[in-house]
């Protein structure tokens, strides 16, 4: 029987983890997998760190040739969960596991092959995350809109009220106490000293709720790093007319939320490239915010997929308002992580960038609640 303590203790590509991976596959997979050993499996540690450890495990050629099960995978991904300490960590892990299972059953994500104490076995997809510039590709944008619409149509056994957004923001702001902000660099203090975060939450909540945006099951972080494209298909030059095959991953922030938060957040992510190798490890280019035509294309594809007769222009106005929430939410995320995260990233810079965008976008609203100028004129 698999010992959960074994999963937690072994890390990296150690001999112990290789042996454990072979035992997991024998116990939870069928057919040729019953004959794998630590010596004959293909084994590669493909990522890991502060969250999960991921391993690519494959059948040796001789066992694959004698495989008799049609749905038997030749290769799988073993995910070993990281530490589950901290407030709400266990609840978040359970939620993510339930959502992953539902997505697998509905062919919206990788197939689930098994769940073991401390992790799970997933379908291995030879894929890469999209590049920021690829979000503007028309075919890809339409597919992303359709995937988002399908996710928004799901019925998931979670709390159905849109409290996650406000609870999360308030939890993060509570952590930004006087002592915390005293450690902020001067460029951050110059922005934070001019803001009353609690007053901003009160104003923002009232403004968003006035839009009456539908509440649906949302991903809440649909940026390019969480959108994978199948590399096997991409490398197949014989079928250039085929539609790109994309998969949405990482439902860490999923919840029932306002429909337009998900759309607005995706649009805002067009401006941010997280592949910058040097500090602050991201690039911001506000000129990349989708044009009116690009937003129309996305929203029409989204509404068509949902079978909605809503006016795309009205939805677009609603989405523009929710860009405020995206900026404020991730600004608070940056502030909290600036003091706690060990991952190399310019959290202070990022938080200040998003707060600056929030302030400037808020300033563009007149007394009527309409934007003073179009979002495709959005500049800093």
- pLDDT score for 257: 98
- For domain 4-100+111-124, which CATH number applies: 3.30.70.20, 3.30.565.10, 3.40.50.2300, 3.30.200.20? 3.30.200.20
Whether 7 has a pLDDT exceeding 70, the answer reads: no
Kindly state the DSSP code that residue 218 receives in the 8-state scheme. E
380 versus 343: the higher-pLDDT residue is: 343
CA angle 205, 213, 296 (to 5 degrees): 120
Whether 276 has a pLDDT exceeding 50, the answer reads: yes
Closest C-alpha among 246, 221, 233, 306 to residue 108 = 246
pLDDT above 90: percentage of residues in the chain: 66
Q: Which of 21-35, 155-169, 241-255 has the lowest mean pLDDT?
A: 241-255
CATH 3.90.1200.10 domain position(s) in the chain: 128-377
Closest C-alpha among 380, 316, 377 to residue 352 = 380
Cis upstream peptide for 280 (omega within 30°) = yes
Please tell me the distance from the alpha carbon of residue 197 to that of residue 180, in angstroms, as a whole number: 14
Gyration radius of the chain's alpha carbons: 22
pLDDT digits 0-9 by tens, 55-102: 999 999 999 987 766 678 999 999 988 755 456 677 777 888 888 899
* Sign of the torsion formed by the C-alpha atoms of 290, 165, 209 and 328: negative
Do 164 and 266 touch, CB atoms closer than 8 A?
A: no
Do 148 and 259 touch, CB atoms closer than 8 A?
A: no
CATH 3.30.200.20 domain position(s) in the chain: 4-100+111-124
Closest C-alpha among 326, 151, 330 to residue 255 = 151
Kindly state the DSSP code that residue 42 receives in the 8-state scheme. E
Do 73 and 122 touch, CB atoms closer than 8 A?
A: no
Please tell me the distance from the alpha carbon of residue 47 to that of residue 78, in angstroms, as a whole number: 11
The CATH code of domain 128-377 reads: 3.90.1200.10
Please tell me the distance from the alpha carbon of residue 161 to that of residue 199, in angstroms, as a whole number: 22
Closest C-alpha among 51, 6, 45, 8 to residue 27 = 6
pTM for the whole structure? 0.85
Please tell me the distance from the alpha carbon of residue 289 to that of residue 272, in angstroms, as a whole number: 9
Q: At which residue do the structure tokens 């024998």 appear?
A: 26
pLDDT digits 0-9 by tens, 37-57: 999 999 999 864 446 788 999
Closest C-alpha among 107, 97, 95, 121 to residue 30 = 121
H-state helical runs in the chain: 4-9, 15-28, 61-65, 89-105, 138-152, 163-175, 178-182, 186-192, 197-209, 231-234, 259-269, 292-306, 312-340, 347-363
What SS3 class is residue 184? coil
Tokens of 185: 């660099």
């Amino acid at each position: 029987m698999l010992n959960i303590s074994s999963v937690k203790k072994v890390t990296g590509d150690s001999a112990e983890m290789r042996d454990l991976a072979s035992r997991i596959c024998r116990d939870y997979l069928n057919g040729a997998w019953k004959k794998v050993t630590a010596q004959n499996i293909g084994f590669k540690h493909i990522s890991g760190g502060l969250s999960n450890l991921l391993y690519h495990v494959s059948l040796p050629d001789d066992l694959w040739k004698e495989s008799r099960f049609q749905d038997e995978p030749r290769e799988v991904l073993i995910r070993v969960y990281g530490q589950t300490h901290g407030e709400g960590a266990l609840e978040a892990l359970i939620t993510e596991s339930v959502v992953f299972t539902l997505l697998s059953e509905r062919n919206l994500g990788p197939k689930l092959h098994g769940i073991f104490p401390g992790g799970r076995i997933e379908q291995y997809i030879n894929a890469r995350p999209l590049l920021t510039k690829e979000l503007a590709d028309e075919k890809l944008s339409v597919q992303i809109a359709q995937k988002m619409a399908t996710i928004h149509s799901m019925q998931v056994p979670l709390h159905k009220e849109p409290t996650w957004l406000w609870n999360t923001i308030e939890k993060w702001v509570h952590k930004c106490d006087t002592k915390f902000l005293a450690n902020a660099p001067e460029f951050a203090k110059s922005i934070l000293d001019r803001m009353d975060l609690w007053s901003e939450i009160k104003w923002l909540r009232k403004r968003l709720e006035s839009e009456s945006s539908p509440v649906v099951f949302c991903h809440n972080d649909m940026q390019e790093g969480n959108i994978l494209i199948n590399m096997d298909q991409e490398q197949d030059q014989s079928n250039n007319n085929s539609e790109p095959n994309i998969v949405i991953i990482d439902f860490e922030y999923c919840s029932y939320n306002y429909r337009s938060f998900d759309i607005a957040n995706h649009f805002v992510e067009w401006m941010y490239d997280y592949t910058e190798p040097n500090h602050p490890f991201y690039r911001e280019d506000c000129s990349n915010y989708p044009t009116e035509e690009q937003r129309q294309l996305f929203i029409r594809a989204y509404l068509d997929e949902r079978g909605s007769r809503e006016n795309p222009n009205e939805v677009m106005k609603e989405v523009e308002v929710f860009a405020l929430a995206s900026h404020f939410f991730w600004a608070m995320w940056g502030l909290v992580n600036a003091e706690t995260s060990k991952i190399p990233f310019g959290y202070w810079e990022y938080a200040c960038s998003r707060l600056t965008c929030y302030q400037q976008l808020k300033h563009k609203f007149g007394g009527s609640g309409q934007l003073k100028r179009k979002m495709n004129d959005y500049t800093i």
